[in-house]
Chain A
Amino acid sequence: MIRVENLRKSFGNQEVLREVSLEVQPGEFMALIGSSGGGKSLLLKLVVGLLKPDRGRIWVAGRDVAALSRRELESLRSRIGFVFQGGALFDSMTVYDNVAFPLREKTSLGEKDIYRKVMRELELVGLRDAARKYPAQLSGGMLKRVALARALVRDPEIVLFDEPTTGLDPVVSRAVLDLFGSVHRQLKLTGILVSHEIPRIFEIVQKVVMLHEGRIIAAEPPARLCASSNPVIRQFVNGTTAAQSARVEELV
């Protein structure tokens, strides 16, 4: 469903992505992990064509993203939902209008059908009662759920999540991730989740890809990644190096 081949992207002298290749199968939910500023969000923006790669190619649903015209790209994007880090909700609109916005602007649905669809999505994320509220009146967790509802309202085949739990407390972030997992199971979506919520995300994804210094150093199911002997992966996944773990065990 998504295929990235030998992708390179630099900003000035800083090469952020170096020969990145990965593949996400239809219906697969993949986590993208790595240190902050390592290019994970950048990779998502390249996948949806918000930025152009310096080299390499990206195929989404069989289409080469860089080769698409503006109109073709718009049509491809209608099949993709994107949940931004901060939600990116329009602050001058209510929750209802935010979720209804893509339907009003890009479909010929009447207000009755729009109402039905919007309320269905708000029900799915547990925010039916917040429909008339403005984004400024919502908590962080509610904002992310509205963002998910807006991303899902046009029935996308692919959903990309850019650090959706940043800034949330552990309980809310767990609830949000559980919601993403259940939405993925119910709707059989293809998804990429950029997150630092390790090991929580391992419960909801089928594959974990780790980006380190602009390269992919692992693309494995969560269980195999946790058993990896690579010190960089071990440190990232466990938060400690092998030597530190041994020292802790010794102290205990």
Chain B
Amino acid sequence: MNYFINPNRMTLWLSTMGAALMTRVSRLGKAGMFLGQTLFYCLTPQVQAERVLRQTWFIGWKSLLVIGMTGTFAGMVVALQGYPALRRMGSEALLGPGVALSLIRELGPVLTALMVTGRAGSAIAAEIGIMRTSEQIDALELMGLNPFRYVVVPNVLASLLALPVLTLAFDAIGILGGYLVGVRLLGLNGGTYFWEMSNYLEMKDVLGGIYKALTFGLLIAWVCCYKGYYSRFGAEGVSAATTQAVVNASVLILVCDYFVTSVVF
């Protein structure tokens, strides 16, 4: 009770809370400004095409193996879990649409984004963080070059290009994984697996998945580039920036997933 009456402690508490709130708000503002600047430079001329291609190779092509592995097992486990449940209801013929819809609408975009965050997002944050701490970003600026155009924009554009393609690859591989378990292992008819899929799957499901992939692509590049760009100095600073980039991007992907789902489906 005393705690609330004592004016000195109350003032201290209020000022501490206020300072913490202000720090959070100013960080949010800084991140928002960073995104605004990035989008501006993405949409204005002098895009570094060669760098965009190189980063697309790095984010897209080099993630393909991990996406293939994740997709295969995600599809397999959905089929393995879904088949007994559908069988109880006498609807095992709907295994194909069940696997396809859960992958295309939800698992494909989300798992792809999480995998890309872990594999490429962390590397992007670390690379930009090292560029910051070793003054390479300052060097770019002193050469009269815009670090956003050279460092941030190629990663954002590459991520926007790579994520939808990786997501579609994840979906296709996952459906084949589901086929392996559902048809080869559990004995469902192969024709039924694919035929029923075409009856239930709509274009808006595929488009919804692509919208999600685009949103997540922007989110991953934004968070990872931002954390690297404002990395603190020293190895500890870069390490903290990398960890924060992966954690923040992963959480934001799941939060955004809910909102994007509620809008596009």
Contact = CB atoms under 8 A, between A and B. Distances in A.
A117 B47 CA distance: 27
A161 B217 CA distance: 40
Interface stretch (B22-30, B131-139, B156-164, B185-193): B131-139
Contacts of A48: 142
Contact of A106 (B138, B139, B141, B145): B145
B90 interface: no
A101 interface: yes
Contacts of B136: 88-91
B143 interface: yes
Nearest to A76: B144
A50 interface: yes
Contact of A75 (B135, B141, B144, B145): B144
A82 B144 CA distance: 12
Contacts of A84: 135, 138-139
A106 B135 contact: no
A86 B137 CA distance: 13
Given A85-B135, A86-B134, A88-B134, A106 B142 contact: no
B142 A101 contact: no
Interface residues of A, number: 20
Nearest to B138: A50
Contacts of B141: 50, 77
A102 B143 CA distance: 6
Nearest to B143: A102
Contacts of B145: 105-106
A213 interface: no
B143 A105 contact: yes
A78 interface: yes
A50 B140 CA distance: 11
B143 A88 contact: no
Interface of B: 134-136, 138-139, 141-145
26 contacts: A45-B138, A48-B142, A50-B138, A50-B141, A74-B144, A77-B141, A77-B143, A78-B143, A80-B142, A82-B139, A82-B142, A84-B135, A84-B139, A85-B135, A88-B134, A88-B135, A88-B138, A89-B136, A90-B136, A90-B139, A91-B134, A102-B143, A102-B144, A106-B143, A106-B144, A106-B145
